[in-house]
């Protein structure tokens, strides 16, 4: 019987389909306990040494070389989601451990949430609600989304879905990506420009790129200085994309109008000064959290694990070169 260690906070907690599929296939599941969190490398290593799992099904916790080597039985690592910046894939590959993920399962949820945050910023929905509940009766004057220029940084799966939704509002769309998508230009009128031009010309800048060496801290002091004072910044991708100290300084000085943040460099961001600013709309890394997306991700995780242990190469495997040495 194969043992799966689940570090993801959401797998099996919101919907049960993935858990049920795995148990029917003979896998046992051990969840990380609340008192074992937060999961830094040392804590994760201790848990892995104790459980000695065949599979680690992870969320955002660090899966480093030390963690990977802590289990003598480890056969596989799978991410409950699409971003794998927390997993040391080269180390896993050197240990012949397949690493998998579940891309595209939460795309629509994140794109919908992006539009929700943009509308929230432009119309002051949260402050208006708070004011009304406190007895106020004020007219919050906003902006029409269709009259705004939206800068989309990253036009992968999520970025493309954001484009489709914005097209319905009639917004002008600028985009920046190292690999432009011609269909977006032809079908939706997206104009690809350099990052500097996008920052300078956009009323809303929304980030949808993965976290890697070349994107880490891509929005810092100099980039923020290029934005309009009336502009807003959204980050629903990864906290490490933004220099949070520079963002705090810029927002406090009203260098830009505000920001909407769903992700942070450290999560939860309990001591972040950004949370004290009135011009910051903060949510708790929930963009992907719908029942439908959780069902898709949980099912994808379970099916990918089962396929792998049946020696079937799933397209969700990121290092298929490990498969020749994989032992179910």
pTM of structure? 0.91
Question: Which DSSP symbol is given to 170?
Answer: T
Which of the following is catalytic: 75, 80, 238, 296?
238
Cα–Cα distance between 72 and 27 in angstroms, integer?
Answer: 17
* Res 324: pLDDT: 84
Structural domain total, the chain: 2
* Res 270: pLDDT: 83
β pairing state of 55-58 and 149-153: unpaired
Which of the following is catalytic: 208, 250, 285, 296?
285
Do 34 and 141 belong together in one domain? Answer: no
Q: Catalytic residue at 157?
A: no
* Res 326: pLDDT: 82
Do 156 and 268 belong together in one domain? Answer: yes
CATH number of residue 8's parent domain? 3.40.50.720
Which of the following is catalytic: 24, 267, 292, 321?
267
Residue spans of alpha helices (H) in the chain: 17-24, 41-51, 65-69, 89-94, 107-123, 125-133, 157-169, 182-188, 195-201, 221-225, 244-252, 291-309
Do 76 and 195 belong together in one domain? Answer: no
Do 128 and 111 belong together in one domain? Answer: yes
Do 176 and 271 belong together in one domain? Answer: yes
Do 29 and 146 belong together in one domain? Answer: no
Do 17 and 86 belong together in one domain? Answer: yes
* Res 327: pLDDT: 82
Q: Catalytic residue at 285?
A: yes
Do 228 and 137 belong together in one domain? Answer: yes
* Low-confidence stretches of the chain (pLDDT beneath 70): none
Instruction: Round the average pLDDT of the chain to a whole number and report it.
Output: 96
Q: Which pLDDT tens digit goes with each residue over 2-37? A: 999 999 999 999 999 999 999 999 999 999 999 999
Q: Catalytic residue at 238?
A: yes
* Res 168: pLDDT: 97
Q: Which range marks the domain in which residue 187 is found?
A: 107-282
């Amino acid at each position: 019987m194969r043992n799966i260690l689940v570090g993801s906070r959401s797998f099996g907690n919101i919907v049960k389909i993935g858990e049920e599929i795995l148990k029917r296939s003979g896998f046992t599941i051990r969840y990380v306990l609340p008192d074992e969190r937060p999961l830094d490398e040392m804590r994760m290593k201790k848990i892995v040494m104790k459980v000695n799992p065949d599979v680690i099904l992870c969320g955002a916790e660090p899966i480093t070389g030390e963690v990977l080597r802590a289990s003598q039985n480890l056969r596989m690592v799978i991410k409950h989601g699409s971003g794998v910046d927390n997993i040391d894939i080269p180390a896993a590959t050197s240990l012949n451990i397949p690493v998998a993920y579940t891309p595209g399962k939460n795309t629509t949820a994140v794109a919908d949430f992006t539009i929700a945050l943009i509308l929230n910023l432009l119309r002051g929905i949260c402050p208006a609600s708070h004011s009304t509940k406190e007895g106020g009766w004020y007219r919050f004057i906003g902006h029409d989304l269709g009259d705004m220029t939206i800068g989309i940084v990253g036009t992968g799966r999520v970025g493309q879905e954001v484009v489709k939704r914005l097209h319905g509002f009639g917004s002008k769309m600028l985009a920046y990506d190292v690999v432009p998508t011609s269909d977006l230009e032809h079908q939706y009128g997206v104009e690809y420009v350099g990052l500097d031009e996008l920052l300078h010309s956009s009323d809303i800048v929304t980030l949808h790129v993965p976290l890697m060496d070349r994107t880490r801290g891509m929005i810092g002091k100099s980039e923020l200085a290029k934005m309009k004072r009336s502009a807003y910044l959204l980050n629903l991708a990864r906290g490490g994309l933004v220099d949070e100290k520079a963002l705090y300084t810029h927002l406090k000085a009203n260098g830009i109008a505000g920001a909407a943040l769903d992700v942070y460099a450290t999560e939860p961001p309990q001591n972040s000064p950004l949370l004290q600013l009135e011009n910051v709309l903060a949510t708790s890394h929930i963009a992907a959290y719908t029942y439908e997306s959780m069902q898709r991700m949980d099912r994808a995780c379970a099916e990918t694990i089962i396929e792998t242990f049946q020696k079937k190469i799933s397209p969700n495997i990121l290092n298929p070169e490990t498969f020749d040495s994989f032992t179910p």
